[in-house]
Amino acid sequence: MTIIFKKYLNNLFVSIAFFLIAILFFYYQESKITIDNLHCSLQKEIFLKENLINNYLKKITDFYKSIIHGKIFKMIFLQNYLQMKDWHFSFMIKTN
C-alpha cells in the first residue's frame, strides 16, 4: 500500500502545487486591488510622471532660451515633434 501511495505521490504534489498557486495568486491579486494599495501606487506614479514632465519642461525651456526667435522657435519645435510622440503627455505653448 505504501508503495502505491508513493507511486502516485507525484500527482498529489502537482495537484497541491496547482491549488496552492491558485490560492496564492488569488490572495496576491486581491491584496493588490485594495483601495489603500491602489492609492499608494497611483501616488507613486503621479510623482514619477510629474518628475518626468518637469525634466522635459526644463529641457524644452533650456533649449528655447538659447534660440529665442519666434518663427524659428515654432518650426524647430515642430520638427522635433516626431520624437516627442511617445511621451504619453501632450503640451501646448502660447505667448503670454
Partner 1 sequence: MIYWSDNSIPISILDTNSDSQIKKLKNGWYRVISQKFINYQIVCFSLIKSEYAYQNDYLKNNYSKSFNLPPEIDITLERDKYLIKGVDSRFLFSIQLNSTLHLSEKNIYIILLFFILGFIFFSSYLFGIYNKTKFLKSYTLIKFLIYFIFISVLRFILFYFDFPSLLYDSKLFSPYYYAASEFLPSLGDLLINSSIFLHLSYLFFTQVKLEALLKRPVLIKKYTLSIFSVFTIIVFFYYYVVICKSVIYDSSIQMLMNDIFELTFESLIGSFIIFALSVSFILVSSKLFYLCKRLTYSNINFVYVFISAIILFLLFPFQIFWKEGFFYPVFLIVFFLILFLFDFLKDRINIIQRIFILILFFSFFSTFTFYKYNDNKEIEKRKLLVQKLSAEYDPVAEFLFKDIMLKVKSDTIIRNQLKRFYPEDSIVNYLKNNYLKGYLSKYSQQITLCKDFQNLIINSANNYNVNCDKFFYDKITMNGYPTQTENFYSLDFGSGSNSYIAVIRFFDDASDSLLRTSLYIELDAKFISKDLGYPELLIDKKLNLIRDLSDYSYAKYVNKQLVKRFGKCFYDNKLTTEVDSSGFRNFNKDHFNHILYNVNNRVDFILSKQKIGFLERLSPFSNFFIAFTLFLFVLVFATPYSRKIFSLTFNFKTRLQISILSIILVSFVLIGITTFIYIANLSNEKNSELLTEKTHSVLIELENKLGNETKLDRNISATVNDLLVKLSNVFFTDINLYDTEGVLIASSRMQIFEEGLISDFMNAKALYELKVNGKTQYVDKENIGTNEYLSSYMPFINNDNKLIAYINLPYFAKQGDLRREISSFLKAYLNIFLFLVIIAIVVALFVSNYITSPLRLIISSLSKIKLGKKNEKINWKSNDEIGNLIIEYNSMIDQLSISAEKLAKSEREVAWREMAKQVAHEIKNPLTPMKLSIQHLQRAWKDQVPDWDERLTRLSNTIIEQIDSLSVIASDFSDFAKMPGVELECVDISDIIIKSVDLFKANDAANISFNLNITENCLIKADKTQMLRVFNNLIKNSIQAISDKENGIIEVSVNPKDELYIITIIDNGIGIDKSQQTKIFSPYFTTKSGGTGLGLAMVKSIIEGIGGKIWFESDLNSGTKFFIQFYKFEK
Chain positions contacting partner 1, by CB under 8 A: 4-5, 7-9, 11-12, 14-19, 21-22, 25-26, 29-30, 33-36, 38-39, 41-43, 45-47, 49-51, 53-54, 56-57, 60-61, 64-65, 68, 70, 73-75, 77-79, 81-82, 84-85, 88-96
49 contact partners, CB below 8 Å, separation of at least 6: 88, 89
Backbone φ and ψ of 81, nearest 5°: -55, -50
Residue 10 C-beta: closest distance to partner 1, Å: 8
Sheet strands (E) in 5-75: none
